[in-house]
Amino acid sequence: MISGANRGIGAAIAAHLAAAGWDLSLGMRSPTASTAAPGALVHAYDAERDGAESAWVAATLSRYGRIDAIVCNAGLMIPKTAIAISDAETASMFAVNVFGPQRLARAAWSALTASGCGRVVVIGSLSGKRVSSADSGAYAMTKFAAVALAHALRHAGWEVGIRATAVCPGFVATDMSAALTDLDPAAMTQPAEVARLVELALTLPNNASVAEIAVNGLLDGNF
């Protein structure tokens, strides 16, 4: 299951895993047939809406009979300082970036446990490791929490074979990054490279668990 799978990093993950032979269930706020993963189940999923995860999990189990992994990729970035951002905007970011993945993991937990080697990947950010600018401050608050969520899920699922990893990229060549920086997209990490790291986290055995994977296209002295 991949949330936010309609574009950017999510679409790249879907394409990469489809090519590797995974059966995919793609969650999208506005579902459209996936060109990245033809034949995949596409289901309505809004990470901000409580209850959306249960319907998506049920549809996935109905289609495939099992869930081996979830990739929590849906994200929201509002570029404001921790002072300037409103309570409502902060709540929206936490809803999508933290509570959405938490609820999705909870809904899929029984199926992940049944697999004996369930996997959870939370797409975090280097903003979940350090605050690099004032305007990324509020976003960083949510991504710190998302990284902590990955660690919490790793502890919660360890004895039943569930492994959780936070994948933390810096700027990735997507529409979101283009709106935030004037860096050359060629200098940024590419979505396909993030997808390769997600596959690594999904396919490592239970005795080779990786808690975090950080990746950056730039030399970052703050990390």
State the amino acid at position 159 in one-letter form.
Answer: E
Q: From the candidates 22, 56, 139, 171, give the one annotated as an active-site residue.
A: 139
Specify if 74 maps to a domain: yes
Ramachandran angles phi, psi of 162, nearest 5°: -85, 130
Which tokens sit at 40?
């995949």
Q: Is the pLDDT of residue 46 over 70?
A: yes
Whether 64 is a known active-site residue: answer no
CATH of the domain at 179: 3.40.50.720
Specify if 223 maps to a domain: no
Specify if 40 maps to a domain: yes
pLDDT number for residue 176: 77
Specify if 96 maps to a domain: yes
User: Which residue range forms the structural domain that includes residue 192?
Assistant: 2-215
Instruction: Give the pTM.
Output: 0.94
Specify if 28 maps to a domain: yes
Q: Is the pLDDT of residue 221 over 60?
A: no
Specify if 158 maps to a domain: yes
Going through the chain in order, the beta strands assigned E by DSSP cover 2-3, 25-28, 41-44, 69-72, 119-123, 163-169, 212-215
For the residues 191-209, what does the mean pLDDT come to? 98
**Domains contained in the chain, number:** 1
Specify if 30 maps to a domain: yes
Which of 14-18, 31-35, 175-179, 219-223 has the highest mean predicted lDDT (pLDDT)? Answer: 14-18
CA distance 78 to 96: 12
Specify if 222 maps to a domain: no
User: To the nearest whole percent, how much of the chain has pLDDT over 70?
Assistant: 98
Other C-beta atoms closer than 10 Å to the C-beta of 186 total 8
